[in-house]
Amino acid sequence: MPDPVSWLVVEPGWAVVARDGSEVGKVEEIIGDADEDIFNGLSVSSGVMGKPKYVPAERVTGIVEGEVRLDLEAEAIEHLDDHEQQPPSAQFRA
């Protein structure tokens, strides 16, 4: 069994695996603040035509080299919220 790794080394393209060990998608984006070491979750793509899904950090049970493991059943992935890109921060003038 590979050693666990930090969320900071996760890269797009890593496998995302359901509780039963089946691959349910690939990491598209890692969501968090590296400077503060705050991991919020992942954007996971499960197919060419589907929208990426947001997987909150609380659903991640383990990270090993090349793979992120979830506590979800494979069917549950399609019921997660779509991941929407965050808009660039707006600047306001007084």
* Amino acid making up residue 22: S
Q: How far apart are CA 89 and CA 43, in angstroms?
A: 20
| 78 pLDDT tier (thresholds 50, 70, 90) | confident
pTM greater than 0.75: yes
Give how far Cα 79 sits from Cα of 37, 39, 51, 83, Å: 28, 22, 12, 12
> Which pLDDT score, from 0 to 100, does residue 94 have?
38
Mean pLDDT of 57-79: 95
Assign residue 56 a region: left if phi > 0, alpha if psi is -120 to 50, beta otherwise? beta
pLDDT digits (tens, 9 = 90+) for 29-40: 999 998 899 999
Q: Per-residue pLDDT for 93 more than 80? A: no
CATH 1.10.3720.10 fits 7-79, yes or no: no
Q: How far apart are CA 18 and CA 89, in angstroms?
A: 34
